[in-house]
Structure formats: structure tokens, C-alpha cells
A and B are shown apart, each in its own frame.
Chain A
């Protein structure tokens, strides 16, 4: 009975890792590639480690596996966020069909922080109010 649970979790993990690698190969843009690889890859590895914990059925192995899964869930999104931030600072090109970019014009590359919101945010509000008054 335990064997079938192990097979179930192992197959789910392997298929999710395969989906992650296909997404890494076929996505058109670095940001989309990063999204596909991190989410599916983390879930697949967590499922395979849970399968190993069920197979050995020991408290030490179980705690070890839980520690590895929590560490992966904490660190993989942080690493992906750092990579995406570096890619945005270097101005890597986005996909042509990307609809909108929320950070456009709001990020200061030299200081590596947000621009002060005074000048950039005040102009469109003034235009809108002018149109409404007319």
C-alpha cells in the first residue's frame, strides 16, 4: 500500500519537473522562463522528497525532508526575484507581446531605487483633471 503512495508522488514530481524544463525551453522571454522554471520545479522537487520520506518512514528522515522543503520554498523565490531585478536593471529586452510594464519610468538605475513620486506621478493627474474640467 505504501508503495503505491510512493509511486504516485514520484510520478507527480517527475512530470512537474518535465513541465518546468519544457517551459524553460519554449518560453520566449527571460521573465516568463524564470516564472515557469521556479514554480513547477519547486513543486516537483517537494513532491519527490515527500515520496522519499514516505518510503523510509522514519522521523529523522521526515524532519530532514520537511527542512529541505521549507528551505526551498523560502529561497527559490528570493533567488528568482534577485535574478529578475538584475535583468530589469541591465535592461534585458522583454517579449514583443508583453502588455504592460508597471515599473516603466519609475525606476532609477543609478541609485537602484524608486524615483521620488512627485514629478512622475503629478503630470498625468494634471492632464486628467484638465480634460475633465474642459
Chain B
């Protein structure tokens, strides 16, 4: 009972506040690279919230998602940097708003 209260009233609000701060950086970030770093951190916060939900609902299935989510985050970062260095992404379109 203590565990459910701690997760509901401390852990999940802290995680949602941090998601809100990351979204502020995503919308504010002056360049495209800042947004990619912010989205990379957002996936990590998502893995943490999945583990919190797994404890809250007492189901182990939520932990299986975290490995796939980490894999997708790494692959998307590698693909983005590959095409960004090669010059296929239009830089002026996303850089300054």
C-alpha cells in the first residue's frame, strides 16, 4: 500500500514533470540537433515510466517493452546522424524557427 502511494503521488508526477521539461526543449530548441537529443532522453524517461507501471499493476510484461524501446532509440539515433552528416536532411527547414 505504501508502494502504490509512493508511485502514484511521487514517482509518476516527477517523471511527468521531467517529460514536460523535455518537451519544452523539443519545442524551443534552436536547432535540429537539440531536438534529437531531447527526444533521445524522452525514450529513456519512457523506459523508466514503464518500469514504474510494471510495479504499480504487478505485471512483468511491461519490462519486456523496455528492451525493444532502447533498441529503437539507438537505431534511430544512428540513422539520424548518418543522414545528417551525409547532408540528405534539409537543414534550413528545421534549424531556426
Interface residues, chain A, with chain B CB atoms under 8 Å away: 3, 6-7, 10-11, 13-15, 17-18, 20-22, 24-25, 30, 33-34, 37-38, 41-42, 44-45, 48-49, 51-52, 55-56, 58, 60-61, 64-65, 67-68, 71-72, 75-76, 78-79, 82-83, 85-87, 89-90, 92, 112
Closest chain A residue to B68, Cβ basis: A68
Contact of B63 with A51 in the complex, beta carbons under 8 Å: no
Residues of B within 8 A of A48 (CB): 47-48, 51-52
Say yes or no: A11-B81 contact (C-beta < 8 A), given A45-B47, A92-B33. no
Contact of B18 with A7 in the complex, beta carbons under 8 Å: no
Interface residues on B, range: 35 or more
Residues of B within 8 A of A41 (CB): 41, 44-45
Contact of B25 with A87 in the complex, beta carbons under 8 Å: no
Residues of A within 8 A of B36 (CB): 83
Residues of B within 8 A of A78 (CB): 74
Chain A binding site: helix, strand, loop or mixed by DSSP?
Answer: helix
Closest chain B residue to A10, Cβ basis: B11
Contact of A7 with B33 in the complex, beta carbons under 8 Å: no
Contact of A49 with B70 in the complex, beta carbons under 8 Å: no
Could you show 7 A-B contacts with beta carbons less than 8 Å apart? A15-B14, A21-B41, A30-B31, A33-B25, A44-B48, A49-B63, A83-B36
